[in-house]
A and B are shown apart, each in its own frame.
Chain A
Amino acid sequence: MTIRLETREQARRLLIYESEAGNSSEPGASPTLRVYEKLRRNLAAFAGVAGFYSLASRALAQARSDVPGFSEARVTEDGTLQGLGEIEHQIDFDKGAGGKPPSEAGIILIARLLGLVHIFLGEALTANLLRGTWPGSALDDCKSEKGRNA
């Protein structure tokens, strides 16, 4: 199953936002892991830990087919992501690197997760839930030309 362009763009924008925000707020964490963690907290609040775990496991399985480097990664019972192994280095490539493009592996993982949320909750509800976590500037209309070129 391919990733929709809009979803991929949404993931990319969230990673860019966290990449820039991370310079000052949490310089130690990868933008991918920061986006993932915020999604975990957000989604687990209403879907439950088990609900998030199910979605994250499926997203990781899908991401593995795109990025074999995720083969060692796993989702723990509380929904956190562990065992990234070699891929962590690739994800770390953009750690705190404001202005640099996010890693492909990170985009795929987040896009896969967002894709599942889209499937189950629909775009409108997903967007509303994301707005509760990220400011509007991080979630500009990804369908717009401006959004694509950003």
Chain B
Amino acid sequence: MSTQGSVTINKLPTGVPGLDEIVGGGLPEYSFNIVAGAPGSGKTTLAHQFVFANATPERPALYFTVLGESAIKMLRYQQQYTFFDPSRLPDTIRFINLSQIVLEKDLGAVLEEITREVEKANPAVVVVDSFRTMVRKPQSDMDLQSFIQRLALFLASWQATTFLIGEYAEDELRDNPIFTVADGLFWLHQIAERNSIVRKLQIIKLRGQESVPGLHTFRITNAGVQAFSRTFGLTARKRNPPGKRRLSFGIPELDKMLDGGVREGDSVLIAGSSGTGKSVLATQFIAEGVQQGEPGIVAVFEERPEAYAERANSLGLDLETPQKDGKLSILYLRPLDLSVDETMQSILDAVQKIGAKRLVIDSLAGFEMALSPGFRADFRESLYRMIFALTGIGVTILSTVEVDESFTEFPFSTYSISFLCDDILRLRYVSIDGQLRKIMVVIKMRGGNHAKDIREYEITSKGVVILGKRLTEYQGLISGIPVHSDRPGPEESSPETGIEHRT
């Protein structure tokens, strides 16, 4: 399709962090939009953010309030948001109340008043809040449709970008003539999930540009509405080709088992039961990265960053200095009603801020518990999106996951997420000679040769130390209860002695 000579539609900033990406770069100029949702879903706040982002003294914003929330109370509360700048009222942003006209007259008079004010002010932005209260008065559908069409036509001709705000239930979406007139239809959902509230935003339609489909999480904080795109804002970015570099754990024997280290841009899973040293390995991985000049992020869910750094210190790993130098960031993602998208945004912000190359998520179980119950059901799908997005920009992710120790099977993860991981390292306890010892094995390594050796290791004051012997005199090690074989004693371990294979 030729675009030569086609009209250019300017995109206006929404003023809502994350929403520009969702709507395809910004809101089409002169579009006629409806923001719908239940009371308390954030409609007014979203409209205010758009108004404050776009109104100028030359092209102000007109904010018509109708029945419903008192304008004075609305302004009282809206002032609490950081984006609200009172100095811009009333010259740049003007609030006009239409209640009396709505109560005493008909829709024609309302249109007449809006027309009069628009012609007087030449606004860039017009908001009618709440538009729904205006149309609840008894009148024919034809009156209403005619009113909407005339209003849309008039405001577009006057080059105003418009928001009509209305309280609508989802079942009102079908066959509603109002929605057919709109260029953009934004639906804000507020869903109760057990004891948590989950807010979701959907762009049901947006003429003229490609928005990101689906339900996007949003949150309302003292900064107003913040939206989190399902694609984490990474759709426009080119995926990096798989890296060729190998990233070291700082544990030479383990690097050998991994054919030289973890491939850059891989997703690595360390699975093991409690106390097997998953976090220790993760800490060594991130510390080695910092040592090699690769900034890192650690996302922790089960302990505070100070405690995490202190524990690393006891292993001789200094995480304090790189934090001060801006080479390392330990994120404590508060365990309350998180969405994966919010977590991702925090991680992405940190990745961009310090140019992180390595990311540790410690642990997936903690991550899941920090999520709102509604998001836990989609945890796997969310993980997939998150890992795909982050590895796509060249970040190497190491996640830890706790698995129940079983003596009948050898699970890699309780989440069935192994397909999301390029590399899997399994740690487990084994009972040998009256001792509970630890073994590790590389289960999978996509695109690389890895050793098949089952290696014993210990956690010392220097972290994970792989012992120099391959356990050849035992059979059934991965069952956790091996039996001594009649084979000769332990051999010296090396990658050559292990049978290597490509997966």
Question: What residues of chain A have their CB less than 8 Å away from a CB belonging to chain B?
Answer: 44-51, 55, 120-122, 124-125, 128-129, 132
Query: Once the chains bind, are A47 and B86 in contact (CB under 8 Å)?
Result: no
Neighbouring B residues of A44 by C-beta, 8 Å:
97
Question: What residues of chain B have their CB less than 8 Å away from a CB belonging to chain A?
Answer: 65, 70-73, 75-76, 79, 86-87, 89-91, 94-100
How near does chain B come to A75, taking the closest CB pair, in angstroms?
15
Query: Once the chains bind, are B72 and A129 in contact (CB under 8 Å)?
Result: no
A-B contact pairs, 5 of them (CB 8 A): A47-B71, A49-B97, A50-B100, A120-B76, A121-B75
Query: Once the chains bind, are A128 and B87 in contact (CB under 8 Å)?
Result: yes
Known: A120-B76, A121-B72. A48 touches B86 (CB 8 A): no
Q: Is the interface of B mostly helix, strand, loop or mixed?
A: mixed
How near does chain A come to B113, taking the closest CB pair, in angstroms?
11
Query: Once the chains bind, are B96 and A128 in contact (CB under 8 Å)?
Result: no
Query: Once the chains bind, are A48 and B65 in contact (CB under 8 Å)?
Result: yes
CA distance A49 to B65 in the complex (A): 12
Query: Once the chains bind, are A128 and B86 in contact (CB under 8 Å)?
Result: yes
Query: Once the chains bind, are A48 and B99 in contact (CB under 8 Å)?
Result: yes
Q: Which residue of B lies closest to A55 (CB)?
A: B72
Known: A55-B72, A128-B86, A129-B89. A121 touches B97 (CB 8 A): no
Query: Once the chains bind, are B72 and A120 in contact (CB under 8 Å)?
Result: yes
CA distance A139 to B89 in the complex (A): 16
Neighbouring B residues of A125 by C-beta, 8 Å:
75, 79, 86, 89
Q: Is the interface of A mostly helix, strand, loop or mixed?
A: helix
CA distance A55 to B100 in the complex (A): 16
Query: Once the chains bind, are B79 and A45 in contact (CB under 8 Å)?
Result: no
How near does chain B come to A143, taking the closest CB pair, in angstroms?
17
Query: Once the chains bind, are A46 and B90 in contact (CB under 8 Å)?
Result: yes
CA distance A50 to B70 in the complex (A): 9
Query: Once the chains bind, are B94 and A46 in contact (CB under 8 Å)?
Result: yes
Neighbouring B residues of A51 by C-beta, 8 Å:
70-72, 97, 99
Query: Once the chains bind, are A46 and B71 in contact (CB under 8 Å)?
Result: yes
Known: A124-B86, A125-B89, A132-B90. A48 touches B79 (CB 8 A): no
Known A122-B76, A124-B87; further 19 A-B contacts with Cβ < 8 A: A45-B96, A46-B65, A46-B90, A46-B95, A47-B95, A48-B65, A48-B70, A48-B99, A48-B100, A49-B99, A50-B100, A51-B70, A51-B71, A120-B73, A121-B79, A128-B86, A128-B89, A129-B89, A132-B90
CA distance A75 to B75 in the complex (A): 24
How near does chain A come to B437, taking the closest CB pair, in angstroms?
67
How near does chain A come to B401, taking the closest CB pair, in angstroms?
50
How near does chain B come to A1, taking the closest CB pair, in angstroms?
18
Neighbouring B residues of A49 by C-beta, 8 Å:
97, 99-100
Neighbouring A residues of B100 by C-beta, 8 Å:
48-50
Q: Which residue of A lies closest to B77 (CB)?
A: A120
Query: Once the chains bind, are A122 and B71 in contact (CB under 8 Å)?
Result: no
Neighbouring A residues of B70 by C-beta, 8 Å:
47-48, 51
Query: Once the chains bind, are A48 and B90 in contact (CB under 8 Å)?
Result: no
Q: Which residue of A lies closest to B64 (CB)?
A: A46
Neighbouring A residues of B86 by C-beta, 8 Å:
122, 124-125, 128
A-B CB proximity, top 8 nearest:
A48-B97, A46-B95, A124-B86, A125-B86, A48-B99, A47-B71, A47-B72, A120-B72
Contact of A129 among B73, B79, B90, B99 (CB under 8 A): B90
Q: Which residue of B lies closest to A122 (CB)?
A: B79
CA distance A51 to B71 in the complex (A): 8
How near does chain B come to A47, taking the closest CB pair, in angstroms?
5
CA distance A55 to B76 in the complex (A): 14
Q: Which residue of B lies closest to A116 (CB)?
A: B72
**Residue among B76, B91, B97, B98 with most chain A CB within 10 A:** B97
